[in-house]
C-alpha cells in the first residue's frame, strides 16, 4: 500500500491570509507578525478550526524553532527537556523557540506551574491550544501570562465555500447537495469535513454524493462531542432557558447536554438548583420534582433517566417564577458582612438549663402557639426594621388551597365548560381572592385546568 499524506495535512494553510473564518484572530496575529515577535498565547475554540495551524504559521513566519507537545502524554521531564533545547538554540544560534502544547487544559497543576518560569524569562514562547474555557481549565498564574485568542466555530456558509475551494484544488468532484449536508453535519469542524471528504472520495466512483457523506458520518456526533460544546456555556444556556420559562429551549439544551456525554448527575444538580433559585415558593412542587429527577438519574441511569430529566425540565421551565429565596439569603449574608455581629435577643436564648432564667434568658418570650396574634420581634433590636424577605405578592397559594379549589370545581362542574368568578370562589371557601387567582393560574400551568378567555368592559364611576 502506498503511503500518502492525509488530506487535512495537505490542505493545511501556510499563510495567515489562507485561514478561513477567523478574521479577528488573523488580524491580531498579523499585528504580531508586523512587530516581529509574539507574546505567549493560548488558542481557544472548538475542534478542527485551525488552532494548531495558526501556531505553526506564526512559528514559520517569525523564524522560530518549532517544538510540539501533546498534554495527554507530556511529562514535567518533557517540558524541561524542551526548555533546555530552547535555551541552547538561543545561546548558540540566537534563535528563539516556540513550544506548542496541544490540549493544554489537560496539563496538571504541577505541570502548568513548571511552565511559569519559562514563560516569564522568555526561555521559549508558549502557544497552547484548548477546547476548554481557559478561565476554568488553566490555573490563574499561567492564564495571566498568556494572551487569549478566541477562535470561532465556522458557520455553514463559510464551510461550504471552504469545501468547494478545497475540492477544486484537489481535483475532487462533489455534488452540491453533498456539500450542503457535509457543512451542516460537521457543526463547524473543518478537520472533520476534510476527513469525511477523503473517506467519501475512496468510496465514490465520482462524484461524491449525499449517500457517501452519510456513510462516512454515520457514527459521527456532529457538534455533539463535549469538547465542542463548552461545558459552562451550555450549563448557563440551560439554566437561563429554565429561568426564562422557555421549555422548548430548555429541552433543546438538555438534549445537547445528554448528547455531549455530560454526567447526568451534573444536569440534575443544575435543575435542582434552578428549581430552588428561580421557582422557589412560587411553586414549591418544582424542587420536589427536580429532586425526584436526580434520584431517577442515580437509581436507573441513562438512557431511561433522560425521560425523568425531560419531565422535570419541562415542569421547572413552565412553573411560575420567584427568586425571593436567593435574594433573601443574599441580603442576610450581606448584612452580616456589612456590620458588626448583633447579639441574639435575651428572650430568644436557650432557657432550658439550670440558671438560664436568672441571667434573663427567655425572659419576655411568648410561645407563639399559645398567642398566635401576639406581635413580637425576633430580630436583634438594631435590625428590627430590616426586611430580608420580599413581600411582593409573588408567594404561592398553599397546596391545601389549591386542593380545595380543585375539589370545588370538580364537585360543581365535573368536565363541563363553565364560567369562573374568583370573588365567589373566595367567598365560598373563605380565602383571599388573590390566592384563588394564583391557584387557578397554577392549575392552568400544570394542565389541570383548560380555559377559553372572554372579556367584557367594566364601567367604573358614574
Positive or negative, the Cα torsion across 15, 20, 25, 31?
positive
The closest alpha carbon to 417, from 376, 372, 373, 449, belongs to: 449
Spatial separation of the C-alpha atoms in residues 107 and 76, rounded to whole Å: 10
Decide the pairing of beta strands 97-102 and 125-130.
parallel
Computed over its alpha carbons, how large is the radius of gyration of the chain?
32
**For domain 156-216, which architecture applies?**
Orthogonal Bundle (1.10)
CATH 3.40.50.300 assigned to 7-150: yes
- DSSP class of 342: P
Phi–psi pair at 148, nearest 5 degrees:
-80, 125
The tens place of each residue's pLDDT in the chain, 462 residues long, gives 455 788 888 999 999 999 998 999 999 999 999 999 999 999 998 888 999 999 999 999 999 999 999 998 889 999 999 999 999 999 998 999 999 999 999 999 999 999 999 999 999 999 999 988 888 889 999 999 999 999 988 888 999 999 999 999 999 999 999 999 999 888 788 999 999 999 999 887 789 999 999 888 865 554 444 444 467 788 889 999 999 999 999 999 999 988 877 888 889 999 999 999 999 988 999 999 999 999 999 888 888 999 999 999 999 999 989 898 999 999 899 988 888 888 888 888 887 777 777 777 888 888 888 877 777 888 888 887 788 887 655 566 767 778 888 888 888 877 777 777 888 888 888 777 878 888 888 888 777 887 765 545 555 544
In terms of C-beta density within 10 A (0-12 exposed, 13-18 middle, 19 or more buried), how is residue 135 classed?
Answer: exposed
CA atoms of 306 and 285, how far apart (whole Å): 20
- For residues 37 and 68, the answer to whether their CB atoms sit within 8 Å is no
Q: Are 70 and 174 in contact (CB under 8 A)?
A: no
Whether residue 19 contacts residue 26, with contact meaning beta carbons closer than 8 Å, is answered with: yes
- Per-residue confidence (pLDDT) for residue 19, from 0 to 100: 93
CATH fold, domain 229-318, is Zinc Finger, Delta Prime; domain 3 (1.20.272)
- pTM assigned to the model: 0.59
**Angle between helix 247-259 and 264-274 (nearest 10):** 160
Q: For residue 426, what are the contacts with CB-CB under 8 A and spacing of at least 6?
A: 432, 433, 435, 436
* DSSP assigned state of 385: T
Contact 449, 422 (CB under 8 A): no
The number of residues making up the chain comes to: 462
Query: What 8-state DSSP symbol labels residue 276?
Result: I
Task: Give CA–CA dist 280/327, Å, rounded.
Answer: 11
Distance CA 24, CA 255 (A): 31
Is-contact 66 162, C-beta < 8 A? no
Residue 185 to residue 213: CA distance in whole angstroms: 9
Round to whole Å and give the CA distance between 299 and 305.
Answer: 9
In this structure, the dihedral spanned by the alpha carbons of residues 207, 210, 215 and 219, taken in order and rounded to 10 degrees, is 130
pLDDT at residue 1, rounded to an integer: 46
Amino acid at each position: 500500500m502506498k503511503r500518502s499524506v492525509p488530506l487535512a495535512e495537505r490542505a493545511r494553510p501556510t499563510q495567515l491570509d489562507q485561514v478561513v473564518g477567523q478574521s479577528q484572530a488573523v488580524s491580531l496575529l498579523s499585528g504580531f507578525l508586523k512587530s516581529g515577535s509574539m507574546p505567549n498565547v493560548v488558542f481557544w475554540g472548538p475542534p478542527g478550526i485551525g488552532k494548531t495551524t495558526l501556531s505553526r504559521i506564526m512559528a514559520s513566519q517569525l523564524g522560530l524553532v518549532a517544538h510540539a507537545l501533546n498534554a495527554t502524554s507530556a511529562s514535567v521531564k518533557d517540558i524541561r527537556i524542551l526548555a533546555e533545547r530552547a535555551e541552547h538554540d538561543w545561546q548558540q544560534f540566537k534563535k528563539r523557540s516556540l513550544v506548542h502544547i496541544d490540549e493544554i487544559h489537560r496539563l496538571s497543576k504541577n505541570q502548568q506551574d513548571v511552565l511559569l518560569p519559562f514563560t516569564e524569562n522568555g526561555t521559549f514562547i508558549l502557544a497552547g491550544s484548548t477546547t476548554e474555557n481557559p478561565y476554568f481549565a488553566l490555573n490563574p498564574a499561567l492564564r495571566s501570562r498568556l494572551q487569549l485568542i478566541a477562535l470561532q466555530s465556522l458557520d455553514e456558509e463559510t464551510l461550504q465555500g471552504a469545501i468547494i475551494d478545497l475540492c477544486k484544488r484537489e481535483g475532487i468532484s462533489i455534488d452540491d447537495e453533498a456539500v450542503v449536508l457535509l457543512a451542516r453535519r460537521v457543526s463547524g469542524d473543518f478537520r472533520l469535513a476534510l476527513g469525511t471528504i477523503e473517506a467519501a472520495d475512496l468510496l465514490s466512483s465520482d462524484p461524491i454524493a449525499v449517500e457517501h457523506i452519510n456513510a462516512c458520518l454515520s457514527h459521527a456526533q456532529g457538534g455533539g462531542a463535549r469538547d465542542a460544546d463548552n461545558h459552562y456555556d451550555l450549563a448557563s444556556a440551560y439554566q437561563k432557558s429554565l429561568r426564562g420559562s422557555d421549555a422548548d429551549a430548555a429541552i433543546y439544551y438538555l438534549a445537547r447536554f445528554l448528547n455531549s456525554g455530560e454526567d447526568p448527575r451534573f444536569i440534575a444538580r443544575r435543575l435542582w438548583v434552578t428549581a430552588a433559585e428561580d421557582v422557589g415558593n412560587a411553586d414549591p412542587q418544582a424542587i420536589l420534582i427536580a429532586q425526584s429527577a436526580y434520584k431517577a438519574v442515580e437509581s436507573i441511569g441513562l438512557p431511561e433517566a433522560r425521560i425523568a430529566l425531560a419531565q422535570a425540565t419541562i415542569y421547572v421551565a413552565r412553573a411560575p417564577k420567584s427568586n425571593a429565596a436567593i435574594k433573601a439569603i443574599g441580603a442576610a449574608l450581606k448584612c452580616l458582612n456589612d456590620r458588626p455581629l448583633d447579639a441574639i435577643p435575651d428572650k430568644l436564648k436557650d432557657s432550658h438549663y439550670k440558671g438560664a432564667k436568672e441571667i434573663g434568658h427567655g425572659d419576655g418570650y411568648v410561645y407563639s402557639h399559645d398567642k398566635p396574634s401576639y406581635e413580637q420581634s425576633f430580630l436583634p433590636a438594631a435590625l428590627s426594621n430590616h426586611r430580608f424577605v420580599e413581600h411582593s405578592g409573588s408567594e404561592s397559594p398553599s397546596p391545601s388551597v389549591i386542593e380545595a379549589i380543585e375539589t370545588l370545581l370538580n364537585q360543581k362542574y365535573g368536565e363541563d365548560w363553565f364560567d369562573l368568578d374568583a370573588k365567589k370562589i373566595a367567598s365560598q371557601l373563605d380565602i383571599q381572592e388573590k390566592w384563588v387567582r394564583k391557584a387557578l393560574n397554577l392549575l392552568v400551568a400544570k394542565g389541570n385546568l383548560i380555559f377559553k378567555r372572554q372579556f367584557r368592559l367594566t364601567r367604573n364611576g358614574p
